[in-house]
Amino acid sequence: MTSISDYKAQILQQVQEAHKASDPLDPDARKILDVAGSEGQIADLIKRLADPATPVAEQLSALNTLGIVSNFSKVLPTQAADLINALRGLIHSPDAEVRRQALSSLSLRGDAVAQDYLRTELQSDKPEAEKSIPTYQAIAMLGVDGKALDKSLLLNIARNPPDEASLVQAVRHLPADKDTASVLMGILRDESKPMAARALIPDIVNNVDPGGFAAQAKQMLEEHGAASKIAPYLALGLAGIRPGHNEPLVDDTKAVVRSLAADGSDAFQQAVSQLNNTILPDK
């Protein structure tokens, strides 16, 4: 089944390719191109969004169309204020998908009202099921503008995530610094945490605390071996340590990684090859 985002991408690609080659468009792509150049049609779509009586299916259709044409329409920016007001009105829609698409569109525009709303939802102590937008989606939307995310809030979510998806997003958007390294290293060590979150961490902490990361990587590799799922990410993290951070412990751990290469998975061996190709500093 084709998702809405896939459909958007397909239509946009058709429009762009046909425009370059002067090829005929299929009916859907032609309709989108017509909307993109029409002040009246765009205004009508925005009015549908702003009208509380518009059925959900029509709201979603309008959001979908406006989302596609926003990539290339020269007309839509002239009606940006009306569009933003209409989208803000949908933040409190009773339909979850309408809320999500409206907040997503506003987030892509760096809208302060949407950002405040999302931060309030993240800070809320309501049960996850009662929040108007899932935590993981709120983090991802705020992450479009890195300055919109509060580090302490992300750390709290990382320590006590409502679900695995939220932990992954919190880890993905945490900055690499001394305040976050210990929390991230704890997640890296914890085998009960999702691999999707743990796999992100080596490349975040490796240059913040290279010695600490190297020690942890060495211990994990010695305990679990090169065939473990996390092993390739540990090796890549070591390969990504900047030359100026090559402390003795880092070099020792790299030697351990190389010694385990023959017993590792294909992914681990590929990571080791990157480790071997690390560029040395100029003398």
pLDDT greater at residue 22 or residue 268: 268
Asked whether 179 and 151 are in contact (CB, 8 A), the reply is yes
Q: Is residue 98 part of a domain?
A: yes
Domain boundary pick from 109, 143, 158 = 109
pTM over 0.75? The answer is: yes
* Residues above pLDDT 90, as percent of the chain: 76
Domain termination residue (choose one: 109, 134, 167): 109
Residue 27 covered by a domain:
yes
pLDDT above 90 (res 29): no
Q: Residue 247 domain-assigned? A: yes
State pLDDT tens for residues 36-92. 899 999 999 999 999 999 999 999 999 999 999 998 899 999 999 999 999 999 999
Where in the sequence is the domain holding 86, given as residue range(s)? 1-109
pLDDT single digits (tens) 127-169: 999 999 999 999 999 999 988 899 999 999 999 999 999 999 9
Q: How many domains does the chain have?
A: 2
- On whether residue 167 sits in a domain, the answer given is no
